[in-house]
Amino acid sequence: MFMDLLHRLFPPYCVFCQLPSLSWLPLCEICQGLLPASCQGCRQCGLALSHGDLCGPCLSAPPFFDRTYALYPYIDPLTRLIKQLKFQQQLAHAHLLGLLLGTWLQQQYQNDTLPQIILPVPLHVARLRSRGFNQSIELAKPVARVLQIPLKRRLCQRIRTTLPQTELSGSLRKRNLLKAFSLQSLEGYSHIALLDDVVTTGHTVNELARLCKLAGAQRIDVWCVARTQRL
């Protein structure tokens, strides 16, 4: 009743367009209609698939992570919304996208065990200082709340600045991430979710998954708001 009263006194408004929202989510019907359908790609890496549930590269040389759960394909309006979040400090976008990701993941894991912890992809301290926040952590907060999983933001650090993976060619991409992260002990956690805003090449989450497996993790699930569908 209290929430109902609160809702009537302060109706949530859509974080994308400022129109009033009709549901408990800060998202109006029009903007909801503009969001694309969720991805149904390769079970392991999330790339688009025409048939089966694993893509060719995952069959021949699988990545270190075991599953990918990407809420949306990385197309408009997601490209625009994520740029606004990162470069125009639209933190309300992270709150809404995190809520959407969390409630979607709840359905995805209905017949599966949830990871024990969420590890957001860290930013280097220099990038963190210039941006003021880490978008992965901001997205992970509502996800952790919805799923009731601890969010571990200090287990992993980015110890070297790296160039955006999309600006580099194949062999440079791997070298770019060499010794980019340091991971403390996983404190016995064996099933871990890595959370990033967008997964493009997958190299970043793969490097983190490699470190987690070296530290004893058994299963790594990658969670992201958006995934590029083709490399």
Q: Which residues of the shown chain bind Zn ion in the complex (CB under 5 A)?
A: 14, 16-17, 19, 28, 31, 42, 44-45, 55, 58
Closer CB to Zn ion, residue 53 or residue 187? 53
- CB nearer to Zn ion: pick between 33 and 132: 33
Closer to Zn ion at the Cβ: 19 or 231?
A: 19
Closest distance between Zn ion and the C-beta of residue 31, in Å?
3
Structure tokens at 93: 């976008």
Whether 140 and 152 have beta carbons less than 8 Å apart is answered as no
Task: Report the distance separating Cα 174 and Cα 80, nearest Å.
Answer: 28
Least distance in angstroms from the C-beta of 148 to Zn ion: 28
Nearest distance from residue 157's CB to Zn ion, in Å?
28
User: What is the Cα–Cα distance from 191 to 221, expressed in whole angstroms?
Assistant: 8
Q: Closer CB to Zn ion, residue 42 or residue 199? A: 42
Residue 26 CB, shortest distance to Zn ion, in Å, is 9
Two structure tokens written together for 207: 């490097």
What CA–CA distance (Å, rounded) separates 113 from 74? 27
Q: Whole-number minimum distance, CB 32 to Zn ion, in Å?
A: 8
Question: What are the CA-CA distances from residue 79 to residues 22, 106, 123, 133 (Å)?
Answer: 25, 24, 20, 19
- Which two tokens mark 214? 């070296």
Query: Of the candidates 186, 188, 197, 187, which has an alpha carbon nearest to the alpha carbon of residue 228?
Result: 197
Q: How many residues does the chain have?
A: 231
SS3 80: helix
- Looking at the Cβ atoms of 14 and 105, the one nearer to Zn ion is 14
Residue 93 vs 158, nearer CB to Zn ion: 93
Q: Kindly state the smallest distance separating residue 15's Cβ from Zn ion, in Å.
A: 8
* Phi and psi torsions of 104, nearest 5°: -70, -40
Question: Quick one: DSSP state of residue 77?
Answer: T
